[in-house]
Amino acid sequence: MNSSELHKEYPWARFHSLSYPVRLDALGEVLADIRASHSHTDHSETKPRVDGRLVGNSADTDLVRRMIEQVAPSLATVLITGESGTGKEVVARQIHEKSGRKGPFVAVNCGAIPESLLESELFGHERGAFTGAVSARAGRFEQAKGGTFFLDEIGDMPTVMQVKLLRVLEERLIERVGSADSIPVDVRLIAATHRDLPNQIEAGRFREDLFYRLSVFPIEISPLRERREDIAPLIDEFVYRMCVAQSVSLQISAGAMNILEKYSWPGNVRELANLVERLVVIKPNGVVKSSDLPWPIAEREDAQPDTTEVLSSSLNPTSGGIHVNLPSSGLDLKQYLAKIEQDMIHQALVESDGVVQRAAELLGVGRTTLVEKIRRYDINAPKKPVH
């Protein structure tokens, strides 16, 4: 193999040559380049993804589409909130694709990177900045030049890094680890989290100034259980993708679809996508019936347990415990606990004459947290009746 063939087959070979005796730092640089030449983990994309469409017919999904159209052409920082699995990254990619920005879409999950490596990952480092830094490396901010930088799970970012991120947002400058030189960055920032950031602020785990800097244009994605009109279109979309990828089709019977549309989907759209993939394996080119659905979905009956039977629980302060009469047909625990929470909030508002701060004290939660729950459950603040 001649030199040109060698360079074509092994691109890293043109940058380094080793002489005997081999120095450890020189070997480290070669190994780093080999890894980089075979690495495809930078999450950067310049082409629209096939599975990047925002699918659904619900009013909530239509609202998100309109918000994407509004904010995409601007440079406003966007904060996307919603439960895990609701499709926050899909929304971020839609904003990028409609923004007209020519640079790549670069995504980083703040909760997936160790705290000790996060600064280097975001801002890059110079050679010798720390043990193992055998060569200079550009961070994700620099990699996203001219494009969009998506910070997923921003609520998991350490407080020290929150301060540095705030400075970047305000000055549009970064400094690599081990360098005192400032580098201008041209990126559009989108952040996302499943956490209740106002609650995190009260607990001292998230900076209030960073929260307001991120939420210039907030977008909240509703959980799938609150937009059941999206379930059938999403299933059609996932089946279509499986057909394209694996040439396997699938049909859902009316009875099975009825159960799927009534299921609470705690894992949201991600859980639904995983279910479709599982059903394709179980019933390739077949028809999925109610009996083919896995537990706990298959346990859902068309008729819900009688509410009076479910809510026959009582709190006995003298016995120091809660007694619940569990119905024979079972119950949706998440839905049941949510109902209890709504009732307790309503009762606290009645007892406090609609004063939210007093109601929060009665419930032992922060005022901001209670306000968020009142908004989520759409609870009116009633007045205590006068006798």
Q: Where are the domains of the chain?
A: 3-37, 59-222, 230-299, 307-377
List residues bridging with 51 in a β-sheet. none
Measured CA to CA, the distance from residue 133 to residue 127 in angstroms comes to 5
Residue pair 316/325 in contact by the 8 Å Cβ criterion: no
pLDDT band at 278 (very low <50, low <70, confident <90, very high): very high
pLDDT number for residue 321: 47
Q: Flag whether pLDDT at 216 surpasses 60.
A: yes
Residue 343: count other Cβ atoms within 10 Å of its Cβ: 12
The domain made up of 59-222 is a member of CATH 3.40.50.300: yes
Dihedral angle of Cα 296, 300, 304, 306, to the nearest 10 degrees: -60
pLDDT band at 313 (very low <50, low <70, confident <90, very high): very low
Q: Are strands 287-288 and 137-138 parallel, antiparallel or unpaired?
A: unpaired
Query: What's the pLDDT tens digit per position in 55-112?
Result: 999 999 999 999 999 999 999 999 999 999 999 999 999 999 999 999 999 999 998 8
Q: How much is the pTM?
A: 0.65
Residue 312 in tokens:
């026959």
Can you tell me which residue has the tokens 């800097």? 213
Residue pair 12/37 in contact by the 8 Å Cβ criterion: yes
Type of residue at 20: Y
Q: Flag whether pLDDT at 149 surpasses 50.
A: yes
pLDDT number for residue 325: 62
Question: Bigger pLDDT: 137 or 224?
Answer: 224
Residue 129 in tokens:
């900045």
Measured CA to CA, the distance from residue 276 to residue 353 in angstroms comes to 48
Can you tell me which residue has the tokens 């059941």? 228
pLDDT number for residue 20: 55
Q: What's the Cα-to-Cα distance from 327 to each of 297, 311, 330, 333, 338, rounded to whole Å?
A: 18, 10, 5, 12, 17
158 Cβ neighbours under 8 A, 6+ residues apart? 115, 118
Question: Do 59-222 and 230-299 come out as alike in CATH topology?
Answer: no
Measured CA to CA, the distance from residue 262 to residue 301 in angstroms comes to 9
Q: Flag whether pLDDT at 32 surpasses 80.
A: no
Query: What's the pLDDT tens digit per position in 184-194?
Result: 889 999 999 99
Choose which CATH entry (1.10.10.60, 1.10.275.10, 3.40.50.300, 3.30.950.10) describes domain 307-377. Answer: 1.10.10.60
Can you tell me which residue has the tokens 């679809």? 257
Question: Bigger pLDDT: 138 or 5?
Answer: 138
pLDDT band at 23 (very low <50, low <70, confident <90, very high): low
Residue 376: count other Cβ atoms within 10 Å of its Cβ: 16
Can you tell me which residue has the tokens 């309109």? 66
Residue pair 208/96 in contact by the 8 Å Cβ criterion: no
Angle at 249 (CA atoms; ends 244, 253), nearest 5 degrees:
140
pLDDT number for residue 17: 53
Q: Are strands 78-81 and 217-220 parallel, antiparallel or unpaired?
A: parallel
Can you tell me which residue has the tokens 């309503």? 346
Q: Flag whether pLDDT at 320 surpasses 70.
A: no
| CATH class of segment(s) 230-299 | mainly alpha
Query: What's the pLDDT tens digit per position in 163-172?
Result: 999 999 999 9
Residue pair 27/17 in contact by the 8 Å Cβ criterion: no
Cα Rg, the chain, nearest whole Å: 26
Q: Flag whether pLDDT at 270 surpasses 90.
A: yes
